[in-house]
Amino acid sequence: MKILVTLCLLFSCGFANAQLYDLVIRNGKVIDGSGNPWFYADVAIQNGKVVRIGKLSSAQAKRVIDATGLIVAPGFIDVHAHIEGGESTTPTADNFIHDGVTSVVTGNCGGSNLNIADYFTRLDSIKTSINIATLIGHNTVRRAAMGDAQRDPTPDELKKMEMLVNDAMNAGAVGFSTGLIYIPGTFSKTEEVVALARMAAKQGGVYASHIRDEGDNVTDAVNEAINIGRLAKIPVEISHFKVTYKPNWGRSVETLELVERARLEGLDVTIDQYPYVASSTTLDTTVPSWVFAGGRDSMKIRINDPATRLRIKKEMVETLKKKQLKNYSYAQVARYAPDTTYNGKNISEINKLKGRKTKPMEEAETILEMIGAINRTQMVYFSMNEGDLTRIMQYPFNMIASDAGIARYGSGMPHPRAYGTNARVLGRYVREQKIIRLEEAIRRMTSLPAQKF
Ligand SMILES: [Zn+2]
């Protein structure tokens, strides 16, 4: 395996040999994405489609690529992307293309465009290099219906959310996503998610779940996602499957068993994973969610009140202890707009720069100062274990997905998953560690995601 030559579309046949093709890729080892072994073949392309695979030595072509010694595979489908915004600034989506990805599913973790019809119209005018499908996000429709309120929706508000999901599905969304650790989705109960997932199910959608807890309560959270699938009669995709923080390392044995048992019951449950032991999300997730109830103004009132600020910091330190962490050195800044010198530094280092002691309470103070300046600072958290990662990777109904957006080169110190997800699976886990076979890895990057979405 040296280089992957990727093709955008699935294989089909039908052209006669006398045809002058636009492109023929000769002499490669073809891995078709089904999981079957590679075979030597030439691949002919006409009008952007694969039209013939086989021995095409006599075929004429406008352009020929000699793929001797190389693998030829379909373009990868990344089912867990967050490209919103990036498609306009960088329509070439270079980080995806260079990682072999030609199609993405965006709108994950509960966050999407609200008006999917408008979004698709906009995408048509942009002409991105990647194909794009989207989910409709729970947080997006909840915020539109009831802001960041920490309560159940009224019947009218629920009806409004249902209509928004329905409209999105009508416009071509491929399903419904949740981000149950984020504001405001974290304020919802299971029943609300079931009601909305039902709307997506009616039109053949998938329920993609960033579950409620990937740490201490991970089994409850996996069970909740499966149960939503059972009640709403909708296929479930559990996003960026993992177990976080030391006390939970090893529990992927239990969580994978839950998925397997659901499948034996006849529920269509699959998962996806990025191949790194660090996650990436916002700094806000280190602060209790009640602090953000009602929106940014309410949050500012809370953190500026000395008694409430102290209570928040105590809760944060309590959470840190539960994770068996002594400080916030596991939390590294990817991009902090108010002071870019923070990029790449962890919270303990930033705390020291401020002349403070390496104590959890002082570091919590540093975090609150950063959150007071700006919301949603992107972070990298070193929270996982290689044993869980490889165990999850060996699960056959697990797709490879980046959880990334369209990268802007030279901006911040982002998580490497935006650039190297598929390359790392193929290089580190297939070639070096032999955790899975090459054909199997490519199946998880192509036909498995295609079948599900
Ligand atoms: Zn997520």
Per-residue confidence (pLDDT) for residue 410, from 0 to 100:
85
**Ligand 1 geometric centre to CA of 135 (Å):** 13
Q: Which of 227-236, 258-267, 353-362, 403-412 has the lowest average pLDDT?
A: 403-412
Looking at residues 235-253, what average pLDDT do you find? 97
Question: Does pLDDT of 59 surpass 50?
Answer: yes
**Ligand 1 geometric centre to CA of 80 (Å):** 8
Q: Give the tens place of pLDDT for each residue, 305-332.
A: 999 999 999 999 999 999 999 999 999 9
Q: Give the tens place of pLDDT for each residue, 192-220.
A: 999 999 999 999 999 999 999 999 999 99
**Ligand 1 geometric centre to CA of 182 (Å):** 9
List Cβ neighbours of 375 (8 Å cut-off, separation of 6 or more). 282, 284, 296
Percent of the chain with pLDDT over 70: 96
Rounded CA-CA distance 116/207 in Å is: 17
Rounded CA-CA distance 450/122 in Å is: 24
**Ligand 1 geometric centre to CA of 18 (Å):** 50
Per-residue confidence (pLDDT) for residue 409, from 0 to 100:
87
Three-class secondary structure of residue 171 per DSSP: helix
Per-residue confidence (pLDDT) for residue 53, from 0 to 100:
96
Looking at residues 368-383, what average pLDDT do you find? 95
Per-residue confidence (pLDDT) for residue 11, from 0 to 100:
44
Nearest 5°: phi and psi at 219? -70, -40
Looking at residues 262-282, what average pLDDT do you find? 97
**How does DSSP classify residue 427?**
I
**Ligand 1 geometric centre to CA of 15 (Å):** 44
Question: Does pLDDT of 10 surpass 50?
Answer: no
**How does DSSP classify residue 429?**
I
Q: Give the tens place of pLDDT for each residue, 172-181.
A: 999 999 999 9
**Ligand 1 geometric centre to CA of 385 (Å):** 18
Query: Within 13 Å and on the Cβ side, how many CA atoms surround 394?
Result: 11
List Cβ neighbours of 34 (8 Å cut-off, separation of 6 or more). 443, 447
Domains of the chain: 4-74 (2.30.40.10), 76-276+387-452 (3.20.20.140), 281-381 (no CATH)
Rounded CA-CA distance 141/162 in Å is: 9
Average per-residue pLDDT for the chain? 95
Per-residue confidence (pLDDT) for residue 57, from 0 to 100:
84
Question: Does pLDDT of 1 surpass 80?
Answer: no
**Ligand 1 geometric centre to CA of 107 (Å):** 10
**Ligand 1 geometric centre to CA of 352 (Å):** 30
**Ligand 1 geometric centre to CA of 108 (Å):** 7
Per-residue confidence (pLDDT) for residue 18, from 0 to 100:
64
Output the pTM of the full model.
0.93
